[in-house]
Amino acid sequence: MREKREPEQITGLRRLKAFTHPLRMQLYRLLFAAGTATASQLADQVGQAPSLVSYHLRTLAEHGFVTGASGRGADGRERWWQVATEEGWGFRSSDFAATPEGAAVAGALTRGIFETRASQYRAYLDRSASWGGAWTDAAFSSEWLLDLTPAELAEMSEEFNAVARRWRDRGQAAGAAEDREHVSVHLYGFPFRP
């Protein structure tokens, strides 16, 4: 069982920069969903050589994003990986805005994460009919246009995080079930001017 804690806020540019590689983002996401996996298993999913995947997993481990999964691998030749914490991590763009490099890295990472999420949603839309009526009726996409202060938006973010954690914990407590699937929930909250 992974250690439970609050999401870590990353403030070091070197560490944040290590996550900007698209393959690392993809591997972290797959590993988070799988729970544990080997470099070979992940390589099959991303269509890359196990040695390349292993290199990127070691880089993620060096920066504290993933760790070795203890108690896996009977012969000791295969290394199993897991994310370092199921609470995940985050960063504030404002922590990196003071330098051009910091702003560029934070922006690149934010765009990369968004592109990964958008790609995942597009893949669902392309195959939605294959999920059947129960899943397509349950899936949702919503947009609300609200008038908030920065403090209210931050409070709403905390409420959404609490709701998501409660549902994640509920799913983990229920264990494997025939009709239980991985579900991706994307919520965005940002200011805009019409």
pLDDT band at 190 (very low <50, low <70, confident <90, very high): confident
pLDDT digits (tens, 9 = 90+) for 100-141: 999 999 999 999 999 999 999 999 999 999 999 999 999 999
Average pLDDT over residues 26-49: 95
What is the share, in percent, of the chain residues with pLDDT greater than 70?
Answer: 94
- pLDDT score for 72: 66
Higher pLDDT, 149 or 168: 149
Contact of 41 with 131, CB cutoff 8 Å: no
Matching residue, tokens 């560490």: 15
- pLDDT score for 1: 42
Higher pLDDT, 126 or 86: 126
Matching residue, tokens 């490099």: 101
- pLDDT score for 4: 52
Asked if residue 159 has pLDDT above 60, the reply is yes
Higher pLDDT, 176 or 38: 38
Question: 140-155 burial by CB neighbour count: b if 16+ within 10 A, else e?
Answer: eeeeeeeeeeeeeeee
* Whether the model pTM is above 0.85: no
